[in-house]
Structure 1
Amino acid sequence: MAQTDQLADAGHPLDHFFKPRSIAVIGASPDTTKIRGQLQSMLAKNGYAGRLYPINPSYQEIAGVRCYASVAAIGEPVDLALIAIPAAGVVAALEDCAVAGVRHAVIITSGFAEEGGAAAEAQAEIAALARRTGLRVSGPNAQGFHNEPGHVAATFSPTVDVKPDRQPIDLGARRVGIVSQSGGLGFAFYNHGKAWGLNFSCVVSSGNEADLGAGDFFDYMVEDPATDVILLFLEGVRDTATFVAAAAKAAAAGKPVIVCKVGRSGAGERATASHTANMSGWDAAYGAVFARYGFIQAADPDEAIAIAAALTTAPLAGGQRAGIVTVSGGGGAWVADTLAANGLEVPELSQEFQAAIRPLIPSYGAAGNPIDVTAQGVHTGGLQASVDRLVESDEVDLVVLVNSLSSEHRIAFDVEAMGKLARSQRKPILVYSYTLPSDFARRRIAEAGLPVFANLTNLGIAARRLAERGAYTPPRPAAPAAIAPAAARLLADLGPALSEVDAKRVLGACAVPMARERLVASAEGLDEAMAAVGFPLVLKVQSPQIQHKSEVGGVRLAIADAVAGRAAYRALLADVAAQRPDAVLQGVLVSPMAAKGVEIIVGTLVDRTFGPMVTVGFGGVTTELFKDLACRPAPVTPEEAASMLAELKAAPLLEGFRGAPLADTDALCTLVAQVSTIAAALKDEVAEIELNPVLVHPAGQGLTIADALIVRSAPARPPA
């Protein structure tokens, strides 16, 4: 598409933001050592083809372009204003833009909510102005954006500076779009990616997000046909609904999203708040949203760019089996170990495959996988033949080529042949150099559309992500959350604190399966209750003031007969009276002693950013010791609950581990879905639900909810 056509094209509400036909630089300066001067300079250097209007009453022209005293003096509509003036004048400048019909503005200026006090109030004025006038505003405290194919460098970042004497590496046409809540890091990703040879669509910094937020820019990237892979750098999502809608849209479209999220630690959270006046959300909730929509999480910039390099040059892997071709036995073995550590398989190749390869490699080589063609095999054609055969074979799903690429003069394989194979997009082909790759090698191999991995850890992670993303399927949306009217009425009638029996009554009214139990309010009803429940049984004190019953002597287990039951009842009440004389007792719950099963915990809570979340994990000691939990936004379907179980490290315990019977995972998945629906429907009234333990019995025998807890939400504070 011609540049002028791209600038004129419009479809998404932010098209004229990223593809402006005209730009006003408010506060423009001829001094290119200052940010105000760099904005106009970067636009010109990168070949911006639209109309450019410097705004500064102190100059007649800047860099040969007529300068205007105000936006109003331009006399025609403007798509985008870049504002780089002192903070005290920003709101007035935005008012002028709104009156003049400017569509969008980027506020480069800092000194707003990140400083607090009156500066934060000024940012609130910006937000109110945007709502009132319809002017869409990015920032303040933003670093702008760069639309690479459109030649719109609306930023002062030196990473987009044009260096005519330097020819960039070019890996091909597929492009990465970056949305970053940190301007510096957003353009750092761009800088790292250009060194690899990646191409980009748009890089945008969202700053303090007084109006436009990360979700708006994310949505644009999802719909942008020039963006093939999206990279997000997040401190905390403010525009939750927009962000989640864009995530769902990306998942449905099959557009990969790489995400880096900071603020996980206490120190990281404090740093985030001071940087952009944003408090990070509960990290598990972010992970839950990322997992639902198939986001690929990266731990650092190098890892993120390595994953982006794989996604933009290779197809997704159809499985987890890797074939390795190496010129170094040690290098191949180390790659095999790295892939295995990342959950991939390096299977021994069939005898038929090995027999076809052996004549092409020296006798001291190896054909089993890794295929060690040795340095001699490069000259005999064994290397290329091995890669060719692995790509054609149904025995592996991806191929890793291990080589030394330090030479400044030659490459030990046929680049054209390898490039043709890579462009066929039949399987991922990843190239790893165990020596530092030369600039010559990187450039030459990039011509084949292949990046060179020089970091073994990032190679393994990139390979794993290709396999994981290849296996991802967007979940079926859950039905709208609703609960039975009887449950809502019951909850409304209960007090601010609920006992176990209260919680089970609410859950039972929602059709959650409950064991046969009886609440006994006095000794006179005990014998009848025990006879109805049957032996062996359990006695548990019930009081909204006593959440941890065993800590006050309020539980008796494995009661075998009526005599033992009566004695246990008296002892239980005596212990509770001694420990908690203040507690109001509802009575004693008589429950059957549950059959053995796999102990599971099912819980929910309401996250401050993303709302109700549901978790599932292994109960008992493992819950606290290993924190083996999976989390998703509520509600979930039984199918999504099954994918949560598959994530757990201890999942084999449900799958017949060491001869144990298969657990009733169907019943468990149904329960997780039910509880998630209740949490979503009652998100304003219920802060937490916890079922712990849930005993999952062998397949077809269901489960038993041994204990249940519902925590009411704190009442809203009245306005001051």
Structure 2
Amino acid sequence: MPHPLDSFFAPASIALIGASRDHEKIPGRLLSMLRKNGYPGEIYPVNPNYADIDGRACYKSIAEIGAPIDLAVVMIPARAVLAALEQCAAAGVRNAVIISSGFAEEGGDSAAMQDAIAALAKRTGMRISGPNAEGFFSQMQRVAATFSPAVDVKPGVVPLVATTRRIGIVAQSGGIGFAYYHRARALGVAVSYVVSAGNESDLGAGEFLDYLVQDASTDVILLFIEGIRDVEKFLAAARRAAEVKKPVIVTKVGRSGAGQRAAASHTASMAGWSAAYDAVFAKYGFIVSNDLDEALTIAAVLASNPLPRGDRVAVVTVSGGAGIWGADAVALQGLQVPELSESVQAGIKQLMPSYGTARNPIDVTAQGVTSGGLQKSVDVLTASDEVDAILVVLSLSSEVRKPFKEEELAPVLSAQHKPVVFYSYTVPSDFARRELAKSGVVVLSGLTHVGVAMRRLVDYANFRLPPAADTTRLPLRDLSAHLRSPVLSEADSKTLLRAAGIALPNEVLVKDKSGLDEALARVGFPLAMKIQSPDIAHKSEVGGVRLNVTTKGEAFLAFEALLNKAREHRPEASIQGVLIGPMAKRGVEIIVGTMLDETFGPMVMVGLGGITTELFRDVVYRPAPVSAEEAGAMLAELKAAPLLNGFRGAAKADVPALSQLIADISVLAAAYAREISEIELNPVLVHGEGLGATIVDALVVGRRG
């Protein structure tokens, strides 16, 4: 089925607006790059200052061409761009890439010019990439619509190609996008597309991602993003990638920015600059990498290998020390390096000298290369069900010797039974790279990155897209009466949550002593007493909590003391009274919260709760709403997860009840995102299996304005 961007990435004709005869300047390089890469379609230079460029007729304007144009590449001063685009639209041009800079990145009037470009795209239906873009490269259709030197073609140089599977690259920085391409070529990893999104006046990273997800020639996707503008398109594409199991490796920059968030809750204050991005990446199984070489290593391993069935790795080496180092690298990533069975060891021992070792790591010694032991060990391990992946650690510095024969290695790798990853502890020679590339091998030279890549392969193989949230459990109700002020007290917050359908303990707000007797009779002992004020978010900090109150006399004294403490510490606070409720049974303290992210909207968070929440910051975020199953997966990610699963002989906690509560709160946050900014339940006490969970404290923050 055709995609709307097919004519963008595979144009039958290209107009170069602002073309130049000077190949040293960007407008001149564009024409040169298209021709060097063998673009098969029609090229129309447009510049009123020339009659011809490089033997091609040059047109004064786009209208003068008089032929259908699929793509216009605009390389003229910013002030002239809008008029040129109007001419393109009038001539029926379907797509445009604006290389020109000087728009939103400069602010002021320049930003207004970019807004006008966005309006033009919306009005005319012409799809526009940029401005301030580095263009794109379509390897499949030989469209080098970019000035990047990375796509230059050197006469007589044969490209190194090791993989049949291809990676597609989307970058909001053209320089980094083409850096990925440049390094991928050096490794021999085939590329389908590289696209620079620029300022995204119209086409954004989400729509480009969508194109690569559906593209049959793209097997792995690399993303480099600063921020997502076309959020809905991005999320739809992310879901499709997860559904079709197409790996997406993402690098998100801007993590060090000091994001100033006016946060009333722990949930929001702990979120950090990019928590919502990481939550979205986790939901859709994106592989996060914060290092360029690491990202390329992961992409190379994915492009040249099948996914593993488990996490057991065999390390095969020609150097004992290097093999141990390789085993350490994968073990540090939590992968297993199991000792092999006696029968498998016996088979491998026959392939090596007596001073080798077959236990794992397997050292066939340097002699194993010449005797064929290295290849035969890989054969044995590929057929064995005792390991799920193989790491081959060897020296590939030689310019003349081959450690493998293509006719022996290629069939083993092309069968794709399990991942076989090749790491050279010496700088690999061009000869070695090219010889092994014939068998489909990408030679890697960063051991830590190799370990990470093998870990990510296992994680990605285990990823499953979670089921959709059940939004029918909490029928929509009008909660406006409970949101008269932005920040609610605990009592008001709990009243709102009850109205929304969330189960809470039976509690009574006592405004003065005259109501205390009736409240004590209703609640019973032992009980908890807490000062209530929308101005006091953290009650324990002002001495506003009394627990395990067991007698009426103690309750009356505590009531007076709580009011006095609040007035002493916060004389300006509006005091509603004291909330009296039953003491909750013992349980694991968990925090459950929601917040609104500026980009992705409602987020749900779960973590280790109580007063040490911000100290340990053991939290996991996901876009809301989530299903109970996805909430359970969030809990499993916590470092504190063992506390819920019977740590050191303790009773197992009621994880299903907690998971359902997290799901319900997430549904509530998503349904009322226009009215509610933050929800926080801290702590939630999770009791033993089958005994449920108790919301001890709650905070709801309404949206201001």
2:50 and 2:478 mapped to 1: Cα distance? 71
Structure 1, residues 515-541: CA drift from partner, whole Å, max 9, x if none?
Answer: 222222222332332343232221001
Say whether residues 1:373 and 2:368 are aligned partners.
no
- How big is the shift at 1:437? 1.1
Instruction: Tell me which residue corresponds to 2:638.
Output: 648
Q: Per-residue deviation at 1:483?
A: 4.4
Q: Give 1:226's aligned residue.
A: 217
Report if the CA contact (8 A) 2:479-2:500 is conserved.
no
CA distance in 2, matches of 1:162, 1:267: 43
In 2, distance between residues paired with 1:535 and 1:366?
Answer: 69
Match of 1:488 in 2: 479
**CA separation in 2, counterparts of 1:549 and 1:352?**
66
Segment drifting more, 572-581 vs 169-178: 572-581
Taking a change above 3 Å as real, the CA distance of residues 625 and 418 of structure 1, as seen in their structure-2 partners, is farther
How far off is 1:695 after superposition?
1.2
How far, CA to CA, are the matches of 2:639 and 2:443 in structure 1? 33
Name 1:80's counterpart in structure 2. 71
Partner residue of 1:561 out of 551, 555, 575: 551
CA distance in 2, matches of 1:242, 1:590: 48
| Cα 1:486–1:68 shift into 2, 3 Å | closer
Aligned pair in 2 of structure 1 residues 100, 481: CA closer, same or farther (>3 Å)?
A: farther
Cα deviation for residue 379 of structure 1 reads 3.7
**Displacement, 1:155?**
0.6
| Aligned equivalent of 1:331 | 322
Q: Which residue number corresponds to residue 201 of structure 1?
A: 192
* 1:180 alignment partner, one of 171, 188, 191: 171
Equivalent-residue separation in structure 1 for 2:428 and 2:689 (angstroms): 55
Question: Which residue identity does 2:489 align to in structure 1?
Answer: S
Percent identity between the two aligned chains: 58
1:690 touches 1:709 (CA, 8 Å); kept in 2? yes
- One-letter code aligned to 1:563: G
Which residue pairs with 1:584 in the alignment?
Answer: 574
CA distance in 1, matches of 2:407, 2:606: 50
Normalised by the length of structure 2, the TM-score is 0.96
Aligned partners of 2:347, 2:642: CA distance in 1, in Å?
Answer: 38
Which string of whole-angstrom CA distances, capped at 9 and with x for unpartnered residues, describes residues 595-614 of structure 1? 22111111110000000000
Aligned with 1:585: secondary structure?
coil
Change (3 A) 1:515 1:268: closer
- The equivalent residue for 1:93 is 84
Structure 2 residue corresponding to 1:432, chosen from 406, 419, 423: 423
What residue is the counterpart of 2:519 in the other structure?
529
Distance change >3 Å, CA 32–CA 291, structure 1 → 2: same
For 1:283-682, list aligned pairs within 5 A.
283-480=274-471, 483-486=474-477, 488-492=479-483, 494-620=484-610, 622-682=612-672
Distance 1:431 1:694, change over 3 A: same
- Rounded to whole Å, the distance in 2 between the matches of 1:695 and 1:327 is 55
- Displacement, 1:378? 3.1
Instruction: Name the stretch that deviates more: 50-59 or 543-552.
Output: 543-552
- Paired residues for 1:117-136 under 5 Å: 117-136=108-127
Q: Distance in 2 between matches of 1:686 and 1:600?
A: 21
User: How far apart, in 1, do the equivalents of 2:335 and 2:640 lie?
Assistant: 18
Whether the 8 Å contact between 1:481 and 1:681 is mirrored in structure 2 is: no
In structure 2, give the amino acid aligned to 1:81.
A
Please say which of residues 151-160 and 360-369 is displaced more in the overlay. 360-369
Larger deviation, residues 433-442 vs 544-553: 544-553
Deviations 1:118-159 (A, max 9, x none): 111111111111111111111000011000010110111111
Amino acid at match of 1:491: H
Considering only aligned residues, what root-mean-square deviation do their CA atoms show, in Å?
1.8
**598-607 vs 625-634, which moves further:** 625-634
Q: Is the 8 A contact 1:112 1:123 kept in 2?
A: yes
- Which consecutive unaligned segments of at least 5 residues does structure 2 have? 261-270
Q: How far did 1:621 drift?
A: 5.5
TM-superposed CA distance for 1:320, in Å, is: 1.2
What secondary structure sits across from 1:599 in the alignment?
strand
Runs of 4+ in 1 over 4 A off after TM superposition: 480-483
* 1:139 and 2:139 aligned: no
User: Do 2:473 and 2:664's aligned partners in 1 also have CA atoms closer than 8 Å?
Assistant: no
The letter for the 2-side match of 1:696 is: V
Q: How many angstroms does 1:438 deviate by?
A: 1.0
C-alpha contact (below 8 Å) 1:139/1:206 kept by paired residues = yes
Distance verdict in 2 for CA 1:255–1:485, change over 3 Å? closer
CA change 1:281–1:255 in 2 (3 A) is farther
**Paired residues of 2:19 and 2:47 also in contact (CA < 8 A):** yes
User: For the residues of structure 2 that align with 1:106 and 1:249, how far apart are their CA atoms?
Assistant: 26
Counterpart in the other structure of 1:39: 30
After TM superposition, give the deviation of residue 706 of structure 1 in Å: 1.2
- Counterpart CA distance in 1 for 2:656 and 2:430 is 55
The separation in 1 between residues aligned to 2:583 and 2:312, in whole angstroms, is 46
Task: Report deviation, 1:568.
Answer: 1.3
1:614-664 superposed Cα distances (whole Å, 9 cap, x missing partner): 011111365323321111100000111111112222222211122122111
The superposition leaves residues 550-603 of structure 1 with CA deviations (integer Å, 9 ceiling, x where unpaired) of: 222221112122222222122212222333343333221112222221111111
Over residues 254-296 of structure 1, what are the superposed CA-to-partner deviations in whole Å (9 max), with x where a residue is unaligned?
Answer: 1110111100102899xxxxxxxxxx99400000110011101
Q: Over residues 405-438 of structure 1, what are the superposed CA-to-partner deviations in whole Å (9 max), with x where a residue is unaligned?
A: 1111112233432221111111000011111111
**More deviation, 357-366/623-632:** 357-366
- What letter is aligned with 1:372? D
Distance 2:343 2:555 in 1: 70
Q: 1:694 aligns with which of 663, 684, 688?
A: 684
Post-superposition shift, 1:543? 1.8
